[in-house]
Amino acid sequence: MSAGPMRVVLIDLPPDVDAPDLNAGRPLGPQARVAARIADLLPGATFDADGRGTFRRGNYELAFVLSGDEPFAVDVEIDRPESITALQRVVEKTGWRVIDPDAPGFVDLEASRQAGAIVLVGRPVAPEAIAGDAVARRRPLVTVAGAAVVLAAMWAAWQWTQARPPIRTPESIAGTQEASAKAFAWFAKQMAMRNARMKVLAPAFRDNPIVAQLFDFAIAQNGYWNGLGRGHFGSPERLSDADLWRRFDRDPLLPPTFAQAERTGYVFEYTGSGNCIEDAPGVQECDTFVYSARPLRPGKDIAVTFVLMSEDEKIHIRNDGQIPTKDDPNVDNMSPSTAEEYAAASAASAREPSEGLFAAIGKSVTGLFERFAAPKPTAAAIAAAETSVLRDLRAVAQAEYAMGALTSGTPRYLAPEQLTDTALWAQAKMPPLLAGFFAQPHRQGYEFEFIGDGETGIDGRFEFLKPMWASFVYVARPMDPGPAGRRTFALYPDGQVFATDEHRTPTRSDVPLGDK
C-alpha cells in the first residue's frame, strides 16, 4: 500500500514525443475550459477560481491543481488506490499522458491501482508492493467479468498474427515471434485501457461485446484525432487500413474486423458530420461523428440499439429499434445517466403482458432487457435461470475467441476445464481465461457438457495446451429440480447459441438466439 497520497501530472504530449518530458506539453486551453472538461468527465467535481478542484466518490478523493490562465498540465493528488479508477476515465477520454514528476516516467495507472503505489510503464511490480489488503482488491487481467473485453482485444491480436508463413524458416520464425510480441504488447495496453472504462459502466453493460467494440472505436478515434487526423475523425475503414498505416511504420488503430459492417449479430454504421475535409480522393474526415450498432434481426427478439457520439463521447441506448439520440440513456454510470433505471424499467414493463411485441423466443438474447411473453407463474423463475446460463455461454464463447487469437488465428478450442486451469496457464505466464467455477459440470440448475471434435494441437508457445479441438459444441441441459419450461442450449464455435424445448442437443436447425 502507498504510505501517503500519490502525485502525478497529466499532460498533452504531441504524437511524436515518446519521452515523459514535462516541458514538451501542449497548452490544454483556458483554465475554465479545462476545469469544465474534468467536471464533465467526473460529475460532482468542483473547481474554485484559483484552479483548485476536488472530486469525491465514496471513501476516496482526487485533488486537482490547474496553474495559470492556460495551464500546460494538471497536477493530481491521489489519496488512495480506489480513486485511480476515476482518474483513468479522464485519461481515456482526453488522451492526456500520466507522468510521475519525481521519476520522471510514464505511469501505468492500472498497475498502480492494483499495487497501491506509483508503478511506471514497463517496470515490474515487487510482490511486497501488493501485499496485505491490496491482495483482496487485485484481479487478474483476464476475468470472466471482462470476458467481452478479452474478445475485442484478442481480435486485434489475431489480425496481427494470423498471416504466418506456410514454410517455417529462421527468418519466418523470428518474424512470427516479433509479430506475436507486438500483438501481446498491444493486447496488454488495450486491456488496461478498456478494463478501466468497463469498470465504470452500469452493471448491465459490463460484459456486452457491442459496448466493448464501441469503446475500442472510441479509443482508436481519440488516437486518430490527436495524430493523423489533426483534429478530425476517420471512418472504421481508414482506422483499420493496414496499407495506410504501414506507410507511417505503424500498426492500424483497429483490426480489419472493424471494416466489416456486419459482425457479432449487429450492423455497424459510421456517419461523419460537421466540418469535413477531403484528406485524400474519396477519403473524408469530419470533426464530429455518430457510430451506431443495430441488431440484424430487430423484430425477432428484443434487442438494444447503441450509438457512440463524438458530441458527448457517450454510448446511448434504445430498445425500441430506433437509433438513439443524445437525450436517450447512456451506459456510463459515472455520468448523469438513467441507464440502470432504464434497464430496470424495461424489465419491469416486461412483466405486463403485451400483444405482438413479445413473441416466439420471448427472451432478449442480449441479456440486457429479458422479457417473456407468457404470463405464467414460472416465467420469472425461467427468466432468471436462463439469463444466468446464457451469460455463462457467452463467457465461454468469448474465451474460445481469445484462444483463436492466442493460436495465431488458427481455430483451436479447449474444454472449460482447461480454460480454468491456473497451473496450466502459469506455463504461459498468463491467468486462465475463465473463472474456476466454469470447470463444474453442474451449476445453476443445468448440466454443462463440452463435446470436442477433431483432436489436434499447435506448435509454439501454447503447444502444452492439450488436447485441442478443431471444433466443438458446448451444451447446457436443464436439471431437476428446477422450474419447468427451461430450454436446452448449445454454443457453437462461431459464437452462435441455439435453443430447443426438447431434452436433446440443439442443432443449427433449431432456434438461433442471434447474439454471439
What is the C-alpha to C-alpha distance for residues 42 and 86, in angstroms, rounded to an integer?
A: 7
* 204 contact partners, CB below 8 Å, separation of at least 6: 339, 340, 343, 368
Q: Output the nine-digit C-alpha cell for 163.
A: 498471416
What pLDDT sits at residue 472? 92
What is the C-alpha to C-alpha distance for residues 266 and 208, in angstroms, rounded to an integer?
A: 12
Please, are residues 495 and 411 in contact by the beta-carbon 8 Å criterion? no
* 94 contact partners, CB below 8 Å, separation of at least 6: 10, 12, 37, 41
* 157 contact partners, CB below 8 Å, separation of at least 6: 183, 184, 186, 187, 405, 406
What is the C-alpha to C-alpha distance for residues 322 and 502, in angstroms, rounded to an integer?
A: 35
Rounded to the nearest angstrom, the gap between the alpha carbon of residue 358 and the centroid of all alpha carbons in its chain is 30
Please, are residues 232 and 277 in contact by the beta-carbon 8 Å criterion? yes
Rounded to the nearest angstrom, the gap between the alpha carbon of residue 240 and the centroid of all alpha carbons in its chain is 18
What totals of helices (H) and strands (E) does the chain contain, helices first? 13, 18
What pLDDT sits at residue 263? 84
What is the C-alpha to C-alpha distance for residues 223 and 400, in angstroms, rounded to an integer?
A: 29
Residue in 7, 43, 30 with CA at minimum distance from that of residue 312 = 43
- Per-residue pLDDT in tens (0 to 9) along the chain, 516 residues: 445 688 999 999 888 788 888 888 888 989 999 999 998 888 889 999 889 999 988 778 899 999 888 898 999 999 888 889 889 889 988 889 999 988 788 999 988 888 888 888 865 544 444 344 433 333 333 333 343 344 444 444 433 333 333 344 444 445 444 544 554 555 555 555 665 566 666 666 766 788 888 888 988 888 788 777 778 899 999 998 888 888 776 778 888 889 999 887 889 999 999 888 876 677 888 989 999 999 887 654 457 899 999 888 889 998 887 889 988 888 865 444 444 444 443 333 333 333 332 232 223 333 333 333 333 435 666 776 687 788 889 889 888 888 877 776 677 899 999 998 888 888 878 888 888 878 888 887 889 999 988 888 877 777 888 888 889 999 999 887 666 778 999 999 888 899 998 878 898 888 887 544
Rounded to the nearest angstrom, the gap between the alpha carbon of residue 255 and the centroid of all alpha carbons in its chain is 14
What pLDDT sits at residue 436? 80
Q: Output the nine-digit C-alpha cell for 8.
A: 502525478
Rounded to the nearest angstrom, the gap between the alpha carbon of residue 501 and the centroid of all alpha carbons in its chain is 33
Q: Give me the torsion for CA of 343, 345, 347, 351, rounded to 10°.
A: -170
What is the C-alpha to C-alpha distance for residues 36 and 39, in angstroms, rounded to an integer?
A: 5
Instruction: List helix spans (H) across 73-169.
Output: 84-94, 109-115, 134-137, 147-161
Count how many residues are written for the chain: 516
The whole-model pTM stands at 0.38
Q: Cell 455497424 belongs to which residue?
A: 268
What pLDDT sits at residue 359? 30
Rounded to the nearest angstrom, the gap between the alpha carbon of residue 477 and the centroid of all alpha carbons in its chain is 29
Q: What letter does residue 120 receive in the DSSP assignment?
A: B
Q: Output the nine-digit C-alpha cell for 328.
A: 436517450
What pLDDT sits at residue 166? 37
Q: Cell 465514496 belongs to which residue?
A: 58
